[in-house]
Amino acid sequence: MQSESLSSAEVKQITTKYTYGTWRRQKGWNPVHVVDAEDCYFTDADGKKYLDFSAQLMCVTLGHKNKAVIQAIQDQARDLAYVGPGWATTIRAELAKRLVEVLPKGLTKYFFTTSGTEANEAAFKIARMCTGKTKIISRYRSYHGSTMGSIAATGDPRRWAMEPAGKIPGVIFAPEVNCYKCPILHTYPGCGIACAEYIEHMIANESDVAAVILEPVVGTNGVLIPPKEYLPRLRQICDKHGVLMIADEVMTGWCRTGKWFAVDNWGVVPDILTTAKGITNAAIPLGLCATSEKVASYFEDHFFSHGHTYEAHPLTLAPAIASIDEMKRLNLAARAVELGAYIGPKLHALKEKHRSIGEVRGIGMFWAVELVKNRKTKAGFNTMADKVAGTPLLVDKVAAKMMASGVYMQAWVSHFVIAPPLIITEKEIDAGVAAFDEALSVADAEAEN
């Protein structure tokens, strides 16, 4: 909605004075006043258009203002805007039918939430209830959400401010899978996937482990892609010890990695899969906690002790149906593979040219470019502690230069996440990569060799 009475300066001033900027010190927050967004672009109050090279928070997979999604919201608001979770609705049944089709085989019972965070909270409670065990194993390079349980299971520094209060009893951390900067052996290949084997060591020595939660491809923390043995081995370990595997696909779901879900790349079916973001093209808040038949069967005769006023809210479910239908119509999983094959060589070519690039990695249309001060030591320009301390980050300088040339790209500590809407054209990719190429001179100037 446009206001006739507020100038853009007033909008920004009121926004920053009266509302919180997330995950940051409030001082110095100077948000762009966005007035419109369509397809792969958003527009500011001065009419400047920005190419959205990260689909906002890696969530607007179909592009901004997808017509079918908007129509579904409008129709549902008119037909049945709200009814409580205890009732059956056509929209709920229609969505369930589609989810059975696209989710990994066997994930056939669903709990709906209004965020990825809540989907993970539901997963933890369900895992604890149906196993009768307490502990959750997570990994250091991870983000699983912002509320007390999910932040406790988050490995990255967004957890630090909540220590020790944010720790729900029993969350423990395993080493991440990161073949560029392996936390265990500092070498790959030939490591014998020690990062997976160590999780078995933890399960055996901890006792009382209910579940392991993992992003199959780590998202914000660097698009970390596991070696092909990792997930199948972890599946075996979980099965052997009666521990549930929770795949957090909040970011990786909905065709981003070239399959409907990232786990499909390795043929692994988790016991619980959580997702959100792209499920409605981010046009309406919706999360999903999908469970296996085995998990579901426990609750036939046991109290399902969980719920929300907005669970299965009709207005949130309608755009999910439209999004799934659109993803099928546009064959988006295959499109992600094609786009990945197009952008990958271009990003690798940037690495040849820019000494500040340490590694380029990606799967489907989900890529990270990691910057390093020194290629030999792999030392970054900044640390996670810098991020929390509010120290100006080099990646933010590069991102600011890109914004000046009309391209938006998500930066986190020492890398960029490239995940544009999957409707992006090759010409638009070229424009985004060209802006990145130019902006990287800022980092090159500060690199050591």
Ligand X SMILES: Cc1ncc(COP(=O)(O)O)c(C=O)c1O
Using CB under 6 A, list all residues that contact ligand X: 57, 115-117, 120, 143-145, 215, 219-220, 248, 250-251, 276
Q: In this complex, which beta carbon is closest to ligand X, that of residue 387 or of residue 401?
A: 387
Q: Closer to ligand X at the Cβ: 363 or 372?
A: 363
- Cis peptide upstream of residue 164 (ω within 30 degrees of 0): yes
What is the Cα–Cα distance from 127 to 299, expressed in whole angstroms?
A: 11
Quick one: 156 or 370, whose CB is closer to ligand X?
156
Nearer to ligand X, 372 or 411 (CB): 411
DSSP 8-state class, residue 253:
T
CA dihedral (242, 243, 247, 248) positive or negative: positive
Nearer to ligand X, 39 or 248 (CB): 248
- Closest to ligand X by CB, 176 vs 428, is 176
For the CB of residue 361, give the shortest distance to ligand X in the complex, in Å.
17
CB of 404 to ligand X, least distance (A): 26
CB of 39 to ligand X, least distance (A): 22
Read off the tokens for 304: 């399902």
Min separation Cβ 335 and ligand X, Å: 22
Q: How far is the CB of 280 from ligand X (least distance, A)?
A: 11
- Closest distance to ligand X from the beta carbon of 82 (Å): 21
Structure tokens, 202: 């933890």
Q: Give least dist CB 154 to ligand X, A.
A: 8
Please tell me the distance from the alpha carbon of residue 331 to that of residue 71, in angstroms, as a whole number. 20
User: Smallest gap, in angstroms, from Cβ of residue 7 to ligand X?
Assistant: 31
Chain CA centroid to CA 113, Å: 16
Burial, 289: exposed, middle or buried (Cβ in 10 Å; 0-12, 13-18, 19+)? Answer: buried
Between 266 and 342, name the residue whose CB sits nearer to ligand X.
Answer: 266
Question: Which residues, listed in sequence order, are joined to residue 410 by a DSSP beta bridge?
Answer: 417
Rg of the chain, C-alpha, whole Å: 22
Distances in whole angstroms, Cα of residue 8 to Cα of each of 11, 34, 404: 5, 9, 18
Which residue is at the shortest CB distance from ligand X?
116
User: In Å, how far from its chain's centre is CA 207?
Assistant: 30
Q: Calculate the alpha carbon distances from 175 to 121, 309, 349 in Å.
A: 22, 37, 31
Query: Cβ–Cβ contacts within 10 Å for residue 445, how many?
Result: 10
Q: How far is the CB of 282 from ligand X (least distance, A)?
A: 9
Identify the bridge partners of residue 273 per DSSP, sorted by sequence position.
Answer: 247, 290
* Min CB(117)–ligand X separation in Å: 3
Among 446, 436, 217, 441, CA closest to 347: 436
Nearer to ligand X, 288 or 295 (CB): 288
Nearer to ligand X, 217 or 372 (CB): 217
Residues with Cβ within 8 Å of 207's Cβ and at least 6 positions away in sequence, in order, are: none
Query: Looking up tokens 């500040």, which residue turns up?
Result: 356
- Give min distance, CB of 88 to ligand X, in A: 26
Question: Listing from the earlier edge strand, what are the strands of the sheet with 410-412?
Answer: 357-363, 366-371, 415-418, 410-412
Q: Of 317, 304, 280, 303, which Cα lies nearest the Cα of 83?
A: 317
Q: Closer CB to ligand X, residue 157 or residue 406? A: 157
Nearest to ligand X of 176, 248 (CB atom): 248
CB 65 within 8 A of CB 38: yes
Q: How far is CA 196 from CA 61, 190, 224, in A?
A: 31, 14, 14
- Residue entry with tokens 């239908």: 325
